Amino acid sequence: MILEKIITEKKKEISKIKNKEPINDLKDKISTKNPPEDLKKALNRGFSIICEYKRASPSTGPISSKKLEESVKSFESGGASAISILTEKRFFNGDIKHLERAESITDIPILMKDFIIDEYQIFQARAYGASSILLIASICPNLEAFIQLSKSLHMEPLIECGNSLEICKALENGAEIIGINNRNLNNFTINLNRTKAFAPLIPKEKILVSESGVKEPEDVKILREYGADAILIGTGVMKSKNPADFIKDLLIAGTITPKGGPRIE
């Protein structure tokens, strides 16, 4: 499976990076940084969009050759509430240094999206300018510890869940932002009904982010009716000829569509 290959390579990568940049160096770097932007606050202002800088993926290959600076500016001008930076190198053509560059040109929250399996990566995210991190519940070795460490570094994490048990575990451990990935990470197929299935398990006071699969405003309307507070979009916005206008159209669709779904009190 693709996910297993990614995790195997990620373990090798982390082992090498730890020797090049020890964790104490990351902590020293963090000590000089200002507090990060508040992702929860940014997503708590009505329907929101997280736009992702994503250059490639295992399922589609190369996606876009757009420069980081160009993309960040277009995301911000389109009305994105936050920006996700895919930092995984081998399979997604990302780079941890993209976080620093993005932080230097925008004031909106920056989410580090990677396959986080080691606490080292959480310190790395903060040291390189992330405001938040994505934790995939199915691969996280200790979700409670990783959530608490992220919060201790003033980063409210986005917890990606794929089933009811993961959602319950995330909520029990203090998750405020829950992501439902419409993409199956084992075979990378898309199904928007994944959001429909799991939205009822997420309390109304929490933020539900529907991830992947949005190609047009109609998709946003569907996810909003299912109960999504926000969407995370990468491929669609990266392939768009005019990202800013595309984002504005998605925002309009999500704003005019009343949030539905039987979200629990």
**Consecutive 10-residue averages of pLDDT for the chain (265 residues):** 91 95 97 95 96 93 95 97 97 96 96 98 98 97 98 98 95 97 82 95 97 96 97 96 98 96 81
State residue 59's pLDDT score. Answer: 82
Q: Is 12 a catalytic residue?
A: no
Q: Which of 74, 150, 181, 210 is flagged as catalytic?
A: 181
How many angstroms separate the CA atoms of 36 and 30, rounded? 10
User: Is 205 in the active site?
Assistant: no
| Number of residues that this document lists for the chain | 265
CB-CB contact of 124 with 96 (8 Å): yes
Could you give the domains of the chain?
A: 2-256 (3.20.20.70)
- Based on the residue annotation, tell me whether 113 is a catalytic residue of this protein: yes
For tokens 């929490």, the residue is 206
Give the pLDDT confidence score for residue 187 in this predicted structure: 74
The span from the CA of 244 to the CA of 242, in Å, is: 6
Report the pLDDT value the prediction gives residue 131, as an integer from 0 to 100.
98
User: Is residue 120 within 8 Å of 88, Cβ to Cβ?
Assistant: no
State the pLDDT at residue 93.
Answer: 95
Q: Is 97 a catalytic residue?
A: no
Quick one: DSSP state of residue 183?
B
What dihedral angle (degrees, nearest 10) is formed by the CA atoms of 108, 41, 174, 212?
A: -60
Q: What is the pLDDT of residue 186?
A: 73
Residue 104 is among the residues annotated as catalytic for this protein: no
- Give pLDDT, residue 185: 75
User: What is the three-class DSSP state of 18?
Assistant: helix
